Amino acid sequence: MSKYDIIVLGSGPGGYVTAIRASQLGFKTAIVEKENLGGVCLNWGCIPTKALLKSAQVFEYLKHAGDYGLSVKEYDKDFNAVVQRSRSVADGMSKGVQFLMKKNKIDVIEGYGKLKPGKKVDVDGTEYSADNIIIATGARSRELPNLPQDGKKVIGYRQAMTLTEQPKKMIVVGSGAIGIEFAYFYNSMGTKVTIVEYLPNIVPVEDEDVSKQLERSFKKSGVNIMTSAEVTTVDTSGEGVKATVKTSKGEEVLEADIILSAVGIKTNIENIGLEDVGIVVDRDKILVNDYYQTNIPGYYAIGDVTPGPALAHVASAEGILCVEKLANMHVEPLDYGNIPGCTYCTPEIASVGLTEKQAREKGIDIKVGKFPFSASGKASAGGNKDGFVKVIFDAKYGEWLGCHMIGAGVTDMIAEAVLGRKLETTGHDVLKAIHPHPTMSEAVMEAVAAAYDEVIHI
């Protein structure tokens, strides 16, 4: 039986990053993967969707070439070529992870891994043992009882990335990051898209101002949006699909070629041996302490299978912290109040910390500043004036409580707020830090100036 210091079950952005950090720290490490190195994120999630979205963005630029003084008389899309480019990008990233495994001398064990008592993992009949086992098996598309996925007319995100024909009409159920990104992609490519959201606002975890701005932008681009709405039944017996949608006004039947179910995720914790080992699970999540140890010594869990936010960068951070603790390094528990979230539609969304509503509900006396990109020279020059930066500060101490952005490129700007909050930066500090002009990022400084009644450009 092969013996390791650490075996990681699952090779997504949680698993493979954990394995690399473990190897860097001198642990003899193996990783178990049943499908493709890189997991869902690299192969079916974060990376290939961004490739699709880039193609959609370029197509949008071609449509609006005249706005930039350019004449493009003939252009078209090749839907299958767009999908193929996305798959090629994913394949390249997966090969990159293979290289990293070899570079860091990590053994890759291909097959379906199942936990066993006594700190062992069975992979298709062969047993491996380790001093520590880290579960990083991730999650998949969640299915609702009234919206079962058949992979053809009612699909999840995996099928949405590899359709052989572009649908003329699509219903997207759910308006979290996955639903919104695919709604943008298909609408930009020419599909008639309807979003059905159960809650009163799309992207419901975001600040309400951001939700309202995205709804305006999406409606302007032709997306039909139904909020406070629920798909109650689906009929796939005909050529397309019919969805009965319940709203405050009554019931409405929508017809489409395909329904994309984007109603969240389901953790991959079935049939991996949790019951055999005695690991405690609560509400579809493996319970862990601040350093990701389960109730059974020697078994750890990170990423989507644990109660934290189901985000790739969170899984990576958790895995690194977990193995650094195992190496007896001084580590501090992750600050889950300072986790950035990004949605890569157009306009992009990025946020961290408290929303204005959450801050007020906590009874905090706050200062709120908002700077619209319509007043930004860089945004005007780029033809991307939709959106804004919004900041929230504690009025008494100047603590940066939250930052919410919607606009072009904001997913590349949010790290300023994350780092600022990590370093306990005050509003005054941000205001006096010189931001380059003209840039989109100077809107952060301008928003802070607005919070303190010192704004110049609005």
pLDDT score at 40: 85
Q: Which of 267, 278, 232, 330 is nearest to 118 (CA)?
A: 278
pLDDT score at 415: 98
Is 181 part of any known ligand binding site? yes
Give the helix ranges, DSSP H, for 79-207.
79-103, 157-160, 177-189
How many Å apart are CA 352 and CA 249, to the nearest integer? 35
Instruction: List, run by run, the mean pLDDT of 10-residue segments along the chain (458 residues).
Output: 93 96 98 92 89 96 95 94 95 93 97 97 97 96 90 93 96 97 97 97 98 97 97 93 94 96 94 97 97 98 96 97 98 97 97 98 98 97 96 96 98 98 96 96 97 93
Q: What does residue 38 show for φ and ψ, rounded to 5 degrees?
A: 105, -15
Is 174 part of any known ligand binding site? yes
CATH 3.30.390.30 fits 347-451, yes or no: yes
> How far does CA 105 lie from the centroid of its chain?
30
Beta-strand pair 107-110/230-235: unpaired
Beta-strand pair 285-286/2-9: unpaired
3-class DSSP state for residue 264?
Answer: coil
The order of strands in the sheet holding 241-247 is: 230-235, 241-247, 250-256
Before 340, cis peptide (omega within 30)? no
Is 118 part of any known ligand binding site? no
Same fold for the pair 2-141+266-336 and 347-451: no
Superfamily of domain 154-263: FAD/NAD(P)-binding domain (3.50.50.60)
pLDDT score at 1: 65
pLDDT score at 169: 98
Is 365 part of any known ligand binding site? no
Is 175 part of any known ligand binding site? yes
DSSP assignment letter at 409: T
Is 178 part of any known ligand binding site? yes
Active site residues: 437
How many Å apart are CA 182 and CA 49, to the nearest integer? 8
Whole-prediction pTM: 0.95
3-class DSSP state for residue 286?
Answer: strand
> In the chain, where are the structural domains located?
2-141+266-336, 154-263, 347-451
**Burial (CB count <10 Å: 0-12, 13-18, 19+), residue 313:** middle
Is 180 part of any known ligand binding site? yes
Superfamily of domain 2-141+266-336: FAD/NAD(P)-binding domain (3.50.50.60)
Is the C-alpha dihedral spanning 418, 423, 426, 427 positive or negative? Answer: negative
Q: Which of 371, 433, 375, 316 is nearest to 18 (CA)?
A: 316
Is 290 part of any known ligand binding site? no
